[in-house]
Amino acid sequence: MSNAEDFRIKHIDTSLHNEDLAPLAPEKRTWGWFEIFNVWSNDIQSLFGYTLAATLFISYGLNGWAVLAGIVLAGFIVMGLVQLTGKPSVKYGIPFPVFARASMGVRGANFPALVRGIVAIFWYGVQTYFASTAVALLLNSLLQPQDPAVYMGLTAIGWLSYVIVCLFQVALFVCGMSWITRFLNWAGPLVYVVMIALMGLIWYKAGPSLLSELGNIFSGTGEYKAGPVAAFFAVVGTMVAYFAAVVINYGDFARFVKSEKQMTIGNFLGLPVSLAFFSLIALVITAGTVVVFGETLTNPTDIVARVDNLTLTIIAALTFFAATVGINLVANFIPPAYDLANLAPAHISARTGGFITAGIAFFIGALWVAFISNVGIAAFVDTLGAVLAPLYGIIVVDYYLVRRRKLDLQQLFSAEVGSAYYFDGGWNRKALIAFAIASVFSVASVWAPVLTQLSGYSWLLGALLGALLHYGLMRGQAQALKRADATL
């Protein structure tokens, strides 16, 4: 495929095609490594991301260096995973729902798109709440309310902040991808500046005692029942699961990248490199809170509020808000917008899908404090990841081993009987069987007591099982495609 003509769908089936799902021609792709780097930076720097990283250092009783190594290893693993899902979208310019048609069928792709959309909507609501805490921090610092009443875990300012964030995100989405890209490109670097400043201030207030507290964290307590090796892999697995929602639909924004090389550079700098740097900052600040405030604080907004510096509070609140909103739009708003559009392209545009997403997610975020957060962060992350894991394994093994890296763009948009991805009424039942078996196992590994030791890395096991089952069931077709290629 060397020119824009190759990316035009010649026979349009309106039940499978609209402008948002159509292949993106190379001349319309404007992203380089910096944009991809900022996608990951904003994801890592979000308030939820910081809280998760800080929690991992204190929850598993591991030596701090081991936790850091586990987080960095997870960064390399995620980089490898997104390279696999990103390459086909860079090559063909297609979003995740269209890519999924090759493995699930042109109609069956609605199923993984719907599952991914549901998970993304859930994440969108939760991240919206976390972004609202930054706005609430700012308003509380400026207004200083006295003994505010609380309803469902939020004060009046908390609710006001939540509504403000909801409306801001929808407005930015309506402005288009170019505005979202600009937003990400300044938000990511600015958060690093603020986090370094916060670390310096905490270190100054803590003094020499900070090094002693860091020593306690790096000594490790060995409290994890399954032992240090299991704890290490639990850290790795949980961190991988945190990125699971982005990993599977990475093609939704990899399709905007100019070349595979640019994508690879952005992935390397944005994942293992950025993750290591940010985790070190989180570690130092978390240790400092023990010294300065006498308790372990893992939410940056709580830390900034305790510092009692109005200038820092205003700057930090705005930047944490920007980082969390940025990744929320890219990872949790745009994907379900595409996914919902894929259900009925003739009637639902990506913009309409975005409005539906925002409406459902509003209630999820509103219930986070009072109900959903009681599940626990680690279990929450692992469960959502476990649902998506088999789908990742299925679409990747199908593209690389069954299809041997070759897709027919025209056929991806064809629902004619006998077309390449029509299967049985548009559904690939073998892929659905593989998903059903693998997802039951991966979710059970999070909650079933007999599989407790696997809970930290359920995502990796679910993806591997889904891949193995799918390839086993599709092996006959893989061999037929191989023979067909050999005769050409």
Q: Average pLDDT, stretch 377-395?
A: 75
Mean pLDDT for all residues in the chain: 83
Q: What is the CATH number of the domain that holds 127?
A: 1.10.4160.10
pLDDT for residue 391 is more than 60: yes
Q: Does residue 10 fall inside a structural domain? A: no
The pLDDT tens digits of the residues spanning 280-327 come to 888 888 888 888 877 777 777 777 777 777 777 787 788 778 877 877
Among 266, 190, 246, which residue's Cα sits nearest to residue 31?
266
Task: Report the domain count for the chain.
Answer: 1
The number of C-alpha atoms within 13 Å of 96 and in the hemisphere containing its C-beta is 35
Q: Does residue 5 fall inside a structural domain? A: no
Neighbour count for residue 372 (Cβ, 10 Å): 16
pLDDT for residue 334 is more than 90: no
Q: Kindly state the tokens that stand for 391.
A: 């789908």
481, with CB counted inside 10 A (0-12, 13-18, 19+), is middle
Q: Does residue 49 fall inside a structural domain? A: yes
Q: Which residue has the higher pLDDT, 313 or 375?
A: 313
Q: Does residue 443 fall inside a structural domain? A: yes
pLDDT on residue 101: 93
Q: Kindly provide the b/e burial profile for residues 16-54, where b requires at least 16 CB atoms within 10 angstroms of the residue's own CB.
A: bbbebbbbbeeeebebbbbbbbbbbbbbbbbbbbbbbbb
Q: Does residue 2 fall inside a structural domain? A: no
pLDDT on residue 261: 94
Range of the structural domain that residue 371 is part of: 15-481
Q: Kindly state the tokens that stand for 353.
A: 């899908």
Q: Does residue 142 fall inside a structural domain? A: yes
Q: Average pLDDT, stretch 252-274?
A: 93
Q: Which residue has the higher pLDDT, 287 or 472?
A: 472
Q: Average pLDDT, stretch 420-427?
A: 90
pLDDT on residue 2: 42
pLDDT band at 6 (very low <50, low <70, confident <90, very high): low
pLDDT on residue 4: 44
The pLDDT tens digits of the residues spanning 192-220 come to 888 888 888 888 888 888 887 777 776 76
Which range, of 94-98, 221-225, 292-296, 367-371, averages the lowest pLDDT?
A: 221-225
pLDDT for residue 3 is more than 70: no
pLDDT band at 1 (very low <50, low <70, confident <90, very high): very low
Please calculate the CA angle 308-310-315 and round it to the nearest 5 degrees.
Answer: 115
Q: Average pLDDT, stretch 42-71?
A: 80
Please calculate the CA angle 250-235-244 and round it to the nearest 5 degrees.
Answer: 15
pLDDT on residue 201: 83
The rounded distance, in Å, linking the Cα atoms of 103 and 111 is 11
pLDDT on residue 380: 63
Q: Average pLDDT, stretch 458-487?
A: 85
H helices of 332-426, in order, are 334-343, 350-366, 377-397, 409-412
Query: Are 69 and 283 contacting, i.e. CB atoms less than 8 angstroms apart?
Result: no
Q: Does residue 199 fall inside a structural domain? A: yes
3-state SS assignment for residue 150: strand
Q: Does residue 486 fall inside a structural domain? A: no
pLDDT on residue 56: 83
pLDDT on residue 368: 77
Q: Average pLDDT, stretch 79-92?
A: 94
What is the distance of C-alpha 189 from the center of its chain? 19
